[in-house]
Amino acid sequence: MREYDSERAGRGRRRRYNNDDFEYLKNLPRPEAEPDDDADERPEVGDRWSTWDMSAAGERGPEPYPDWLVTELAAVDTELGVVKTGKEADVFLVSRGVPGTDRECLLAAKRYRSAEHRMFHRDAGYLEGRRVRETRVNRATAKRTAFGREAIAGQWASAEFVALCRLWEAGHQLGMAPVVPYPVQVLGTELLLQFIGDAGTRQAAPRLAQLRPEPEQLDDLWRQCVAAMELLARLGLAHGDLSAFNLLVHNGRLLLIDLPQVVDVVANPRGPEYLARDVRNVAAWFGARGLPGVDEQALTAELLGEAGM
């Protein structure tokens, strides 16, 4: 498993971070609100009006929208706590509901940090082959200017949202069970997703790495993992950072998460390398749990074939 070094304040000492470090927190105390000139525009309950109508065309999830999703403009968002902290983004639990009714849904709000507050930069290899329309942005990104670094920070949420939408739509067209949480909307550096977990207890679903499945369940989870990687490959993509820490298991169903670094296998010169590493990571985890007959090379070749390589 890869490890990254991050500078610790004071005397140049280093702290080692694992790529899959995470911390679950619940019901953190909120800082006191500062005076706000727009306070009169806030809802009487909740923390903010629903941001649903603030996302432009192409920034909302695939249609038809799920029945559980609250899209009413009278809805308000209420922050319930932190689900997960990470190096480049934090995930918050948000309730979106219409006051005075039983219309409510739980969302995971993934908020990317600005460039200066991220704990490490993983963009160099992943951004190869990824372009935006504005040449000025492309030049700034390539030179890693201050503006370019901010542009890169803003691209993560958008890239993850687009990848989630493509996977959701492709799976739906093929009649597959969803392999990703439903992508609700993206607004700037905030990505809103379907909350995967127990709605009653508001407990997030466990990651695959937290489980010790029995042989029958292990085999089923491996089949689901391969199916998810095949769907990615058919779209010409690789997760780019796949591991047992980036897979949720809810009611026996395996779901991919954390896709901001998704890689175009064809356009990125290192695409096949990232795909092979994804296979190696998950195959090693399943093999260590006793799954027999895992052939990394054969699966890698199959996925590259699906991607048209």
- Provide the number of structural domains found in the chain: 2
CA distance 180 to 171: 9
CA distance 192 to 97: 14
Residues 114 and 243 in one domain: no
Residues 85 and 228 in one domain: no
Q: Which token pair is 28?
A: 């953190």
CA distance 97 to 286: 40
Query: How does DSSP classify residue 19?
Result: T
Domain that holds residue 83: 17-204
Q: Is the confidence at residue 120, as pLDDT, over 90?
A: no
Boundary residue ending a domain (145, 171, 204): 204
* Residue 3 forms part of a structural domain: no
* Residue 122 forms part of a structural domain: yes
Closest CA to 6 of 82, 94, 71, 88: 88
Q: Which token pair is 2?
A: 């890869």
Pick the more confident residue, 31 or 308. 308
* Residue 7 forms part of a structural domain: no
> CA 154 → CA 33, 54, 91, 160, 264, distances in Å?
26, 17, 16, 11, 19
pLDDT digits (tens, 9 = 90+) for 134-171: 565 445 445 555 555 555 656 889 999 999 999 999 99
CA distance 84 to 257: 13
Residues 160 and 260 in one domain: no
Q: Give the pLDDT confidence score for residue 47 in this predicted structure.
A: 93
Torsion, CA 115, CA 119, CA 124, CA 128, rounded to 10: -70
Q: Give the pLDDT confidence score for residue 88 in this predicted structure.
A: 85
- Structure-token match 């901001």, residue found: 260
CA distance 37 to 237: 45
* Residue 11 forms part of a structural domain: no
Closest CA to 111 of 12, 186, 223, 202: 186
Residues 155 and 264 in one domain: no
- Structure-token match 């918050």, residue found: 92
CA distance 138 to 152: 10
Q: Give the pLDDT confidence score for residue 25 in this predicted structure.
A: 44
pLDDT digits (tens, 9 = 90+) for 8-49: 344 444 333 344 444 444 444 444 545 555 555 789 888 999
Residues 65 and 175 in one domain: yes
Which CATH number covers residue 106?
3.30.200.20
pLDDT digits (tens, 9 = 90+) for 247-272: 999 999 999 999 999 999 999 999 99
pLDDT digits (tens, 9 = 90+) for 174-186: 999 999 999 999 9
Residues 194 and 145 in one domain: yes
Helix, strand or coil for residue 94? Answer: strand
Pick the more confident residue, 93 or 122. 93
CA distance 57 to 24: 33
Least confident interval from 15-29, 201-215, 225-239: 15-29
> Which residues pair with residue 8 across a beta bridge?
none
Boundary residue ending a domain (144, 169, 204): 204
Residues 199 and 211 in one domain: no
* Residue 2 forms part of a structural domain: no
Q: Which token pair is 197?
A: 């977990």
* Residue 6 forms part of a structural domain: no
Q: Give the pLDDT confidence score for residue 119 in this predicted structure.
A: 44
Residues 173 and 302 in one domain: no
Helix, strand or coil for residue 284? Answer: helix
Residues 224 and 187 in one domain: no
> Which residues pair with residue 249 across a beta bridge?
254
> CA 217 → CA 207, 221, 292, distances in Å?
15, 6, 13
Q: Is the confidence at residue 81, as pLDDT, over 60?
A: yes
Residues 196 and 233 in one domain: no
- How many C-beta atoms surround the C-beta of residue 218 within 10 A? 16
| DSSP-derived secondary structure for 172-232 | HHTTPPPSS--EEEEETTEEEEE--EETTTTEEPPBGGG----HHHHHHHHHHHHHHHHHH
Residues 183 and 245 in one domain: no
Whole-model pTM: value is 0.80
Residues 193 and 233 in one domain: no
Boundary residue ending a domain (171, 204, 237): 204
* Residue 27 forms part of a structural domain: yes
Which CATH number covers residue 274?
1.10.510.10
Q: Is the confidence at residue 221, as pLDDT, over 90?
A: yes
Round the average pLDDT of the chain to a whole number and report it. 83
In this structure, the strands spanning 14-18 and 3-7 are antiparallel
**pLDDT band, very low/low/confident/very high, at 71 (cuts 50, 70, 90):** very high
Q: Is the confidence at residue 226, as pLDDT, over 60?
A: yes
